[in-house]
Amino acid sequence: MPSHSLTDWGVVAIFSTVYLGMILGGLPRLKLDRSGVALLGAIGVVGLGDMSVAQAAQAVDLPTVLLLFSFMVVSAQMRLGGFYTWVTQRVAAWPLGRHALLGALIAVAGVLSAVFSNDIICLAMTPVVVQLCRQRQLDPVPFLLGLACAANIGSAATLIGNPQNMLIGSVMQLPFGGYVRHAWVPVGLSLLLLWAWLVWGPAAPGRQAGAPHIDAPDPWVPAAATLPVPAFDVWQSAKGLLVALALMVVFVFTPWPREVAALVGAGLLLLSRKLHSSHVMGLVDWPLLVLFMGLFVVNQAFESTGLAAQAVAWLAAQGVHLADPGMLLVATLGLSNLVSNVPAVMLLLPHLQGFQAGLTLALVSTLAGNLLLVGSIANLIVVDLARQSGVTIDWRMHARVGVPVTLLTLALVWAWLRWATLG
């Protein structure tokens, strides 16, 4: 086994600290979130002398960052145009029974999340869903859990539905159309399975079905349902939809680099006489971009020590091969719920190759976000906005839906991948 320098062990210490921060959501006694920890880790690696500033910049996968930024701009356009709220309100106005309404909301959340950010969908739809349940005297818990889970599941259908899929598609150079052809069936079946579980399983966790669970809104926090919601603007929404549709066509039918096409689309949306660029840019998730860049630098520094390759070789000697789909599924599920799905994907990507591995990693890392309440930012957004509106969802209530839905959808994906491979 080759010897390692003190600098290498310094990098290991920084890497370990950063991923401890990913697990804990920050560092004890410090006002740092995951993005702050990743940034501090990147600064530590450069300060240690293991990487120069130029090398750190080269470690960042710029196409992924640009693609993520561009679709944040597209999502911001749609949100400021009031499109997400308008769609949810239109669905709420349909004369549907409880089960049919739940199915419609799950379908809408899943479809929108496949093209736009699942986090943004949850941010826009949650207050409207709470208001809808109040008006109809329905228990909002199964509707809100359905929204969170559907947004996560639906985002797995494309390579732009969530940040980790963008990363996988960019780094592994997966074909956009080819991925969608393989992913839409398991994703669609998973959404159907989610609806069935909420209808015939414990739809209202810990409560009698149909019993409304609506508390008095927290007086210390403005109710999310009463926060200003952008009025529906047909032109601004149409602009965003046209750009999104054009990008889908470009991704599927042309060899144009996805990040370049997305940047052009974002630039066109910023050319507006009504929506100020500062408002659009204010809705960009800058901390998430910082998280990506910081982890790129820290992971590259750790890879350069050779310890990661040695660990993978040791696992292979023990019969644990990441190239095996079953082992990859287990590793992705475990890491995604330990350090969150984006850091998990970054850890696994350097050791994977081939379309099948990329497809498995994208589907599993996304569906794994439904297992625990803290497994996905979308889950936390729904729970936080629900609490502000007086609806309490704790980790136990989420687990009664999230755990079985995750295990069932992963089993479904596994069966689908096995069938597709054998076929």
* Cα–Cα distance, 159 to 194 (Å, whole number): 22
Angle in degrees, 0-180, between the axes of helices 118-136 and 377-388, rounded to the nearest 10: 30
Q: Which of 91, 80, 385 is nearest to 230 (CA)?
A: 80
- Can you read off the two tokens belonging to residue 422? 């054998």
- Check whether 209 has a pLDDT greater than 70: no
- Burial label for 30, CB within 10 Å (0-12, 13-18, 19+), is exposed
Q: How far is CA 204 from the centre of its chain?
A: 25
Give 102 or 337, the one with higher predicted confidence: 102
Distance, in Å, from the CA atom of 418 to the CA atom of 378, rounded to the nearest integer, reads 29
Share of the chain above pLDDT 70, in %: 91
**What is the CB neighbour count within 10 angstroms for residue 326?**
12
In angstroms, how far is the first alpha carbon of the chain from the final one?
A: 42
Mean pLDDT of 28-46: 90
The pLDDT assigned to 316 comes to: 77
**Residue carrying the six token digits 């990040």:** 259
Output b/e per residue, 369-383; b: 16+ Cβ within 10 A. Answer: bbbbbebbbbbbbbb
pLDDT digits (tens, 9 = 90+) for 149-169: 999 999 999 999 988 999 999
Cα gap 126→385, rounded to integer Å: 7
The predicted-structure confidence for 310-368, as pLDDT tens digits, reads as follows 877 887 777 777 778 888 888 888 888 888 888 888 888 888 888 999 999 999 999 99
Which amino acid makes up residue 14? I
- Looking at the chain, the whole-number percentage of residues with pLDDT higher than 90 is 38
What average pLDDT score do residues 205-220 get? 41
Residue range 73-100: mean pLDDT, rounded: 87
Q: Encoding tokens for residue 212?
A: 């409304």
> Whole-model pTM?
0.84
Is a pLDDT exceeding 80 seen at residue 300? yes
